[in-house]
Structure 1
């Protein structure tokens, strides 16, 4: 018996078309909004400090979005270039020595510098892998980002029994900017093939956007001749 396809009413087709359009337009609109919000925020911080003769708005008498952000990128790049030569290193060392003498400022400066050096270090393996750990109880699994091997006093105290400990970051859903830093035995982590970007999408979407996974077929073992 041939099944008769169910006819969709006009209201149903309009609803489906609207939802399809929403799926297409909403990410684009949110991306544009976030981009211009960030540009406006950067301009509001940098533009007041730009000398008038270097400000394009002074000559064209119109507001040019992104001027402050562009100036900030150029300024930071120039500072980085100067910081690589002998004179620049001397100036940076002098500035750091001044900050080291300030009780509260030196603590903030050391912490921020250490975090940025760790995140931006070219050879760093921070947050380049994802994994699963049993949390909050056996049989329940949580997604974590691998920070690296435990170091310093933590490694000396936790690795005493010979079990290698790994630092992992477990963020909540749907805001991955907060979370818990935990030290887990390496043998207790199930490593994943997905990238941190794919893991972040899975986390933010609450499990709705899962990356494609293609299992690696085992290499056949040929019998001895």
Structure 2
């Protein structure tokens, strides 16, 4: 009986978690959409409140509006006028006390992670952590810079070591390039390996032992 119950849990758990995540995303989008409609009610002329209230109850409209809004804002931000407007907005936010610290930090992290020119999370590697002889999977985030780069002798890499089974938290390490062992598995495969606590083993790849570790962040 215990075996059958576990088999049933394994069957329905992925679907249940998927539905839960989708509902959470939909709830977040609905909250933003309702907030925008609330602002619209303030700015709209008299008599438009009933129409706005009906829009708030249309199923799926919030998802469509938010996706279209993200698409249009992305198109705007990639042209010359949009890039100038984004620079002006960043300059404005950088002069607001308290807000500038939060905004600039989040922007730096998001630009590093999601920029097509960035190196973050492009390679999975093996590194000895938390002690010698104990290995874990890490992701190359680049090379140390600024004061840290000048204080460390030799070639080093910046690594992110995620925790299991929640990879959104982890540890930031700076290690010598010679101590890093490159992996042929993709970042997605490495994340699945970490989240599953080693249960989901990636497919067989040719070894990359001959690839110098210093090239990983290049």
Please give the TM-score of this superposition, normalised by the length of structure 1: 0.75
How far off is 1:62 after superposition?
4.7
Pairing 1:185–2:181 present? no
RCO higher in structure (CA 8 A, sep ≥6): 2
Aligned partner of 2:157 in structure 1 is: 166
SS at match of 2:137: strand
What are the within-5 Å matches in structure 2 for residues 10-29 of structure 1?
A: 16-29=3-16
How many residue pairs get aligned? The number is 198
How far off is 1:94 after superposition?
3.1
Higher-Rg structure is: 1
In 1: Cα distance, 2:89 partner to 2:57 partner? 38
> Which deviates further from its counterpart, 165-174 or 135-144?
135-144
Pairing 1:199–2:204 present? no
Pairing 1:88–2:82 present? yes
How far off is 1:140 after superposition?
1.2
| Distance change in 2, residues 1:125/1:101 (3 Å) | closer
User: Is 1:47–1:67's contact at 8 Å kept on the other side of the alignment?
Assistant: no
Q: In structure 1, list runs of 5 or more residues that go unmatched.
A: 1-10, 217-225
How far off is 1:186 after superposition?
0.7
Q: In structure 2, list runs of 5 or more residues that go unmatched.
A: 42-47, 208-218
Q: Any idea what the Cα deviations from partners look like across 1:31-57, whole Å, max 9, x if unmatched?
A: 12211221112212222313477x787
SS at match of 2:98: helix
Pairing 1:40–2:27 present? yes
Given candidates 51, 54, 58, the residue that maps to 2:54 is 58
| Distance change in 2, residues 1:87/1:207 (3 Å) | closer
| Distance change in 2, residues 1:84/1:136 (3 Å) | closer
Given candidates 112, 121, 143, the residue that maps to 1:118 is 112
Aligned partner of 1:71 in structure 2 is: 65
Name segments (4+ residues, structure 1) moved above 6 Å.
none
Aligned partner of 2:36 in structure 1 is: 49
Please give the TM-score of this superposition, normalised by the length of structure 2: 0.77
| Distance change in 2, residues 1:17/1:145 (3 Å) | same
User: Is 1:169–1:182's contact at 8 Å kept on the other side of the alignment?
Assistant: yes
* Cα RMSD, aligned residues only: 2.7
| Distance change in 2, residues 1:112/1:197 (3 Å) | same
